[in-house]
Amino acid sequence: MSKLRVVHYINQFFAGIGGEEKADTPAELRVGEVLGPGMALKANFGDNAEIVATIICGDSYFAENMDKAKEQIIGWVKEQNPDVFIAGPAFNAGRYGTACGAICEAVQNKLNIPVVTGMYIENPGADMYKNKVYVFPTKDSAAGMREAAPVLAKFALKLGNHEKIGSSKVEGFMEGKRINFFAEKRGSERAVEMLLKKIKGEKFETEYPMPEFDKVPPNPAIKDITKATIALCTSGGIVPKGNPDHIESSNALKYGEYDITGVMELTSDKYETAHGGYDPVYANERPDRVLPVDVMRDLEKEGKIGKLHNKFYTTVGNGTAVASAKKYAAEYAQKLKADGVDAVIMTST
Amino acid sequence: MVKEIERAGIPVVHMCTITPISLTVGANRIVPTIAIPHPLGNPALDKADEKKLRRQLVEKALNALTTEVTGQTVFDK
Residue type, A342: D
Give the pLDDT score at A333.
97
DSSP A122-175: TSHHHHHHTTTSEEEEE-SSGGGHHHHHHHHHHHHHHHHTTPPP--HHHH-PPT
Partner residue opposite A345 with nearest CB, options B4, B15, B21:
B15
* Structural domain span for residue B16: 2-74
Q: Searching chain A, which residue's CA lies closest to the CA of residue B21? A: A124
Which CA distances in Å does A180 have to A18, A167, A239?
42, 8, 51
> pLDDT band for position A68 (50/70/90)?
very high
A 34-73 residues inside an 8 A Cβ radius of B = 60, 63-64
Min CA distance, A322 vs chain B (Å)? 9
Interface predicted TM-score of the whole assembly (ipTM), two decimals: 0.98
Closest by Cα among A236, A92, A66, A55 to B20: A66
Q: Which residues in chain A have Cβ-Cβ distances shorter than 8 Å to B57?
A: 292
Q: Residue A211: what pLDDT? A: 60
Summarised one tens digit per residue, pLDDT across range A163-204 is 999 888 889 999 887 777 788 899 999 999 999 999 999 998
Q: For all residues of chain A together, what is the average pLDDT?
A: 94
Which of B9, B57, B69 has its CB closest to that of A337? B9
Do residues A77 and A31 lie in contact, with contact meaning Cβ atoms separated by under 8 Å?
no
| Residue of A216, A230, A298 with shortest CB distance to B7 | A216
Stretch A308-313: mean pLDDT, rounded?
A: 97
Of A74-83, A163-172, A234-243, A291-300, which gets the smallest average pLDDT?
A163-172
Residue A116's closest CA among A104, A128, A107, A127?
A104
Q: Average of pLDDT values for A128-134?
A: 94
CA angle A254, B5, A222 (to 5 degrees): 145
Q: Is A266 exposed, middle or buried (0-12, 13-18, 19+ CB in 10 A)?
A: buried
> B12-40, pLDDT tens digit by residue?
999 999 998 899 889 999 999 999 999 99
Instruction: List the one residue out of A13, A53, A6, A61 whose CA is nearest residue A36.
Output: A13
Q: How confident is the model at residue A2 (pLDDT cuts 50, 70, 90)?
A: confident
Whether B74 has a pLDDT exceeding 70, the answer reads yes
Per the structure, how many domains does chain B have? 1
- Secondary structure (3-state) at A348: coil
Residues of A whose CB is below 8 A from B41: 282, 286, 288-290
| Domain spans in chain A, listed from the N-terminal domain onward | 4-171, 225-347
Beta strands (DSSP E) in chain A are 4-11, 28-31, 49-57, 84-87, 115-120, 134-138, 229-234, 238-240, 256-259, 271-273, 307-308, 311-314, 343-347
DSSP 3-state assignment of A31? strand
Q: What is the rounded CA–CA span in Å between residue B38 and residue B54?
A: 10
A60 to B69: CB separation less than 8 angstroms, yes or no: no
Q: Do B36 and A333 touch (CB under 8 A)?
A: no
Nearest C-alpha neighbor of B5 from the set A223, A332, A312, A322: A332
Worst-scoring range by mean pLDDT, A174-178, A241-245, A251-255, A277-281?
A: A174-178
Separation in Å, CA of B76 to nearest CA in chain A? 15
What pLDDT is stored for residue A167 in this prediction?
Answer: 85
Residues of B in contact with A95 (CB under 8 A): 18, 36
Distance CA A68, CA A59 (A): 14
CA distance B18 to chain A (A): 7
Q: Pairing mode, if any, of strands B29-32 and B12-16? A: parallel
A119 touching B, CB under 8 A? no
**Cβ-based burial of A347 (10 A; exposed 0-12, middle 13-18, buried ≥19):** buried
Amino acid at A237: G
At A50, give phi and psi (nearest 5°): -135, 145
Tell me, yes or no, if A305 comes closer than 8 A to chain B by beta carbon.
yes
d(CA B6, CA A261): 25
Flag whether residue A94 sits within 8 Å of chain B, measured between CB atoms. yes
Q: Which of B2, B3, B5, B25 to mutate to test the interface with A (most CBs of A within 10 A)?
A: B5
CATH code for the structural domain at A4-171? 3.40.50.2300
